[in-house]
Structure 1
């Protein structure tokens, strides 16, 4: 390890230097951009010409990809001759590693925003010329791209008439994926007054996690920074994203890793996606790509999933072990997160966690429920080792599907104790007025005595308290069975308001 660090140090310092551009400033590869532990290979950025940052504009006048207009931050006439509208807010969509600006997800996001409102939408593209396409180099080139975006925004602020929307820095919103999240940070840190918002979609972890705030996205880079963490596993297990909280609101869907509908084992996908190569790519990128899929869905679906603030172990909340629901601090994940945000020094680095789908791929956005289940302790009560299910309903006869409320893994539900469980289901007309509860016993496969052909344990549940997070409703329900008996795999029990 010492030899590797020494070689990294030699490589970084031997090629230390600086490049400068008249309208962008200077860029070096000295610390903090050189860090022996988290950023051992620090390269100077490529030239502006090689990086070739381009801006593709769509507006309500030209909403389709076929009508996109090329705008340059080095030729102001391209702004005046475009459909840029100074009376509209402006969005920038920024791609990440090994991508370009005409990717399907970027055009899908642009189309989604323009279908819901009136905006100037720029898609930012930067080149993958040979020599620019390895990760350390793209991490360095991201600084140039951020500076190019900042330069264009400066010109738009100057171009826009005084008092117009585009003359106000708070009307600019940058949306980046992967390394593009840090590009947005580099652009934002150059502006005072601050830009209005940065949305980071699974910001890249390698070469950024735990680095100095100058190197990575940080909550000081805009008035409001919201982050979706979708692939936070360690890089050695193919995780691409950053686990570190870095915004005003950091969202960790499904705990921030191992997204539903993504393969958990590489052999399960290698021969399904056409070729071994395609299967391998899908295995590595699936969790990472869920961030932008969820964000796009949040624009158009109208889903209003209000998420609980959780200041302890994120996986524990997803597993239903602990965590708490704080209605005052809840906010929806995705495009509409800023609708409920109030700037406060106490709101930095708040992690939020939610659940999405369990098995099906779409839609990702679901109504969020948390239940506290009270297990009674009569003399013949059994330990419940299995899965809990709840359907939620109202007086109009509308019900959700039967929702698997996440259990605690190997832990059993013991008589006399209460447990939090969480789940997500299809939306329906609330408020809740009834629930249907059931459970399925799950014995240990390695212990034949525990198999359900030998034992059929009973549990007793008399009370369930439910937080319906979408509408911020908390309700208590009591069993319609006098003794609270719930038989395994046998029947559903109706609970009504206590």
Structure 2
């Protein structure tokens, strides 16, 4: 008589106000303890322009998460600690639990717009793109910008561990925002979360915990371990009142795709088809070597170039004159053929626009669903979209033509740019 193997009991770990976390079928790993991730927040204000934050603090200063508890065995209890590992390998730094002190420093946020930036794998709040994004945001709006730094939980090379940590880090962000709502009168209808790569899913997990969250922008949400999973296991259009997503590297992983192709928002933008960007490579070897070896400040690698275009598009889009009009279409191929170019749709005798505007102003246009557009190959990436039709004289004889067709566009300022129509 043959016995049936017993299913291994799912491991569970609990961390105070953050709740419990289970190993899931698609991700057999628990998140790291909060004291190991050592999440830190940097706060900037448009009213106090400076490269230095007006406020910086660790998560454990606003919440006691060192007293980890677990259900009955076999899961071992997480290590109890009142210290965290310093990022430079020096003596561990002790943090003090003083939430009232932190919230008092924020002051009243009753009529304040708050935007939070969440980085991805192998990154931190010290990266140049974070500086560029927060500077751009504060240049066009009187707001505060919070950068959530979970570098210790997103370090190379363990991507699986970083993916597991997104759940815990998302709840940490939600806990902070709930605290600001309670103590500082922050209105969730004025809160916008902006996540890149794994940070997109962190924003999604935070949104699941927040009622009335205004908006989440996902910048090329990480694909590996998230694409095709249940909506509760990734960024989803129900995580906020409005969720917009920019897909820049949704190619298959074996071809170097680091982002997700799957629609995850109320509106999903696919610049240049959303898989590979102009001037970037899609080589698998590029993806692997770039992730492992490319220094943060180095020239962009072959695959990271595609992935990083998402946040570059968004940063460009903050400037009011740098628009990214996008068109609804059933495929990028048909968009290139000009079959979906018009923004006007007639319904019941009424003309209306169905196009969207990729990036910062996406919530101000009515376009929804999957939208396509082309961009320039270099900064600024925004550009007007033109449809060009070339009609040739009919000829019954089989003719072979040599050469190629190019079009030169000249602006009012005398600037010109050449586009190749046929190779």
The answer as to whether partners of 1:50 and 1:127 remain within 8 angstroms in 2 is no
How far apart, in 2, do the equivalents of 1:351 and 1:263 lie? 24
Q: Give the alignment's Cα RMSD to 1 decimal.
A: 3.3
Q: Which of 303, 308, 311 is 2:322 aligned to? A: 303
Q: Displacement, 1:84?
A: 6.6
Instruction: Give the structure 1 partner of residue 52 of structure 2.
Output: 66
Deviation, 1:334, is 0.6
Matches within 5 A, 1:34-433: 34=25, 39=26, 41-71=27-57, 72=59, 73-74=62-63, 75-82=99-106, 85-128=109-152, 134-161=158-185, 166=186, 168-192=187-211, 194-263=212-281, 282-300=301-319, 302-310=321-329, 312-318=330-336, 320=337, 322-327=339-344, 328-341=353-366, 347=368, 350-358=369-377, 361-378=378-395, 382=399, 387-391=404-408, 401-404=416-419, 406-407=421-422
Tell me the alpha carbon deviations over residues 242-274 of structure 1, each in whole angstroms, 9 at most, x when there is no partner: 00011011111110122123245689999xx9x
Q: 1:386 deviation in Å?
A: 6.1
CA pair 309-131 structure 1, distance change in 2 beyond 3 A: closer
Change in CA separation of 1:341 and 1:196 when aligned onto 2, cut-off 3 Å:
farther
Q: CA deviation at 1:378?
A: 4.8
**Which deviates further from its counterpart, 289-298 or 259-268?**
259-268
Residues 90-148 of structure 1 show CA distances to partners (whole Å, capped at 9, x for unaligned) of 00000111112221111211111111111110000113269985111111110011101
Take 1:186 and 1:64, find their aligned partners in 2: how far apart are those partners?
A: 30
Summarize the Cα distance change of 1:160–1:383 in structure 2 as closer, same or farther, 3 Å threshold: farther
Contact 1:70 1:78 in 2 (8 A): no
Relative to structure 1, the CA distance from residue 284 to residue 290 in structure 2 (aligned partners, 3 Å threshold; closer, same or farther) is same
- CA shift, 1:357, in A, is 1.6
Matched residue of 2:391: which SS?
strand
CA distance in 2, matches of 1:332, 1:404: 23
- Kindly name which structure, 1 or 2, has the bigger radius of gyration based on alpha carbons: 1
Q: Aligned in 2, Cα 1:268/1:175: closer, same or farther, shift over 3 Å?
A: closer
- How far apart in 2 are the matches of 1:201 and 1:269? 18
Distance 1:114 1:129, change over 3 A: closer
Measure the CA separation in 1 of the matches of 2:410 and 2:11.
Answer: 65
Change (3 A) 1:277 1:18: closer
For structure 2, the residue ranges without an aligned partner over 5 or more in a row are 64-98, 345-352
**What's the secondary structure of 1:255's corresponding residue?**
coil
SS in 1 for 2:205: helix
CA distance in 2, matches of 1:171, 1:384: 58
Structure 1 residues 100 and 180 mapped into 2: Cα distance closer, same or farther (>3 Å)? Answer: same
SS in 1 for 2:209: coil
Question: For the Cα contact (< 8 Å) 1:226–1:249, is it kept in 2?
Answer: yes
Aligned residues: 370
Query: 1:419-467: CA deviations, max 9, x gaps?
Result: xxxxxxxxxxxxxxxxxxxxxxx6xxxxxxxxxxxxxxxxxxxxxxxxx
Is contact 1:116-1:299 (8 Å) kept? yes
Work out whether residues 287 and 304 of structure 2, in 8 Å CA contact, stay in contact via their aligned partners in 1: no
**Residue 84 of structure 2: aligned partner:** none
Please, what TM-score do these two structures have when normalized by structure 2? 0.78
Question: Cα deviations across residues 193-215 of structure 1 (Å, max 9, x unaligned)?
Answer: x3100000000000000000010
Q: Take 1:19 and 1:150, find their aligned partners in 2: how far apart are those partners?
A: 19
Unaligned runs of 5+ in 1: 1-8, 408-441, 443-498
TM-score (structure 1 length as normaliser): 0.67
Kept in 2, the 8 Å contact 1:387–1:404? The answer is: no
